Amino acid sequence: MTYQVILPAAGQGKRMGAGRNKLLLELNGIPVLIHTLKVFEEDEACSGIILAIHPQDESEFKALLKKYHVTKVINFVPGGEERQHSIYNALKTVNTNGIILVHDAARPFIQKRHIHRLTEKAEATGAAIIGVPAKDTMKQVQDGVVMATVERSSLWAVQTPQAFRIPLLREAYEKAERDQFLGTDDSSLVERLNHPVAIVEGDYDNIKLTTPEDLYFAEAIIKKREGEFC
Ligand code: CTP
Ligand code: MG
């Protein structure tokens, strides 16, 4: 079981408000980008990483890869206007037919065992995503008024990685482009082909660093992993 992974890293980090790409922020003295890359660098099942980057970050990112001995990046592609465009630019450079993962560079806490379960599921079914059951009670709201309480047991918060057979993801991206469809994740593009997407239960630590308070959660997750208050 091997896979390649596309890491979209070409965002602006506007909601983080750090004035630069949030992937350059440090956790435990190491940039977020490197935390994420190291997971795949150290996973024997990962055969290559394709990194979508903003041209303004190129020299800094490449210097970091060198400094932290990241060797598995086989391709750099320019990011696009939206995350989906960045991923499509990366997907166009893939010319094999195995399994491809798409993983947000801003999710540094993904664990190898979940990657492997996900990859196996995608090999068996074509498409698999990782997520966690919703914990909060969910309401449907319109114009500041609750319209309904949504049955929680059927709701999952979805994360990345998302894993696909490469020809299937290619077809999904081609259709999305033809239809000018912009989704918020890769699964939504595959769902439009009416292909079933399996879900694998991950964990709540696999957060995406989006707003400043996520950095506090990140520090706590790191401490937990170091066994400081296990
Ligand atoms: N991303 C990308 N290309 C874009 C937009 C986002 O490659 N045009 C990447 C980001 O670098 C990030 C991932 O997609 O790793 C998830 O996006 P998000 O969390 O929204 O990051 P940003 O777009 O950087 O943040 P914001 O939306 O707050 O500006
Ligand atoms: Mg964004």
**Alpha-carbon span 208 to 199, nearest angstrom:** 18
**Cis peptide preceding 161, ω within 30 of 0:** yes
Question: What is the position in ligand 1's atom list of the atom closest to the CA of 211?
Answer: 28
Ligand closest to Cα of 90 equals 1
- What is the average pLDDT across 129-155? 96
| Structure confidence at residue 113 (pLDDT) | 97
Q: Given ligand 1 and candidates 7, 49, 104, which is best to mutate, with the most ligand atoms within 8 Å of its CB? A: 104
CA of 104 to the centre of ligand 1 (A): 8
- By alpha-carbon position, which residue is closest to atom 1 of ligand 1? 11
Q: Residue holding tokens 């999952």?
A: 156
For 120-170, the three-class secondary structure string (H helix, E strand, C coil) is: HHHHHHCEEEEEEECCCCEEEEECCEEEEEECHHHCEEEEEEEEEEHHHHH
Ligand closest to Cα of 210 equals 1
Q: Given ligand 1 and candidates 12, 53, 77, which is best to mutate, with the most ligand atoms within 8 Å of its CB? A: 12
Ligand closest to Cα of 57 equals 1
| Structure confidence at residue 16 (pLDDT) | 98
| Structure confidence at residue 150 (pLDDT) | 95
Q: What does the pLDDT look like over 4-47, one tens digit per residue?
A: 999 999 999 999 999 999 999 999 999 999 999 999 999 999 99
Question: What is the position in ligand 1's atom list of the atom closest to the CA of 79?
Answer: 3
CA of 128 to the centre of ligand 2 (A): 22
CA of 104 to the centre of ligand 2 (A): 10
Report the alpha-carbon angle 6-77-29, nearest 5.
65
Q: Do 117 and 21 meet the contact criterion of CB atoms below 8 Å apart?
A: no
Dihedral sign, CA of 97, 197, 177, 9? Answer: negative
Ligand 1 pocket, 54 CB below 6 A?
no
Region label for 73, one of left (φ > 0), alpha (ψ between -120 and 50) or beta (otherwise): beta
Backbone angles phi, psi at 45, to 5 degrees: -75, -15
Domains along the sequence of the chain with CATH:
3-127+158-228 (3.90.550.10)
- By alpha-carbon position, which residue is closest to atom 8 of ligand 1? 82
* Least confident among 134-148, 162-176, 215-229: 215-229
For residue 93, which of 156, 38, 166 has the smallest C-alpha distance? 166
Q: What does the pLDDT look like over 38-93, one tens digit per residue?
A: 999 999 999 999 999 999 999 999 999 999 999 999 999 999 999 999 999 999 99
Looking at the chain, the whole-number percentage of residues with pLDDT higher than 90 is 97
**pLDDT of 229 above 90:** no
| Structure confidence at residue 115 (pLDDT) | 98
Q: What's the residue count for the chain?
A: 230
**pLDDT of 230 above 50:** no
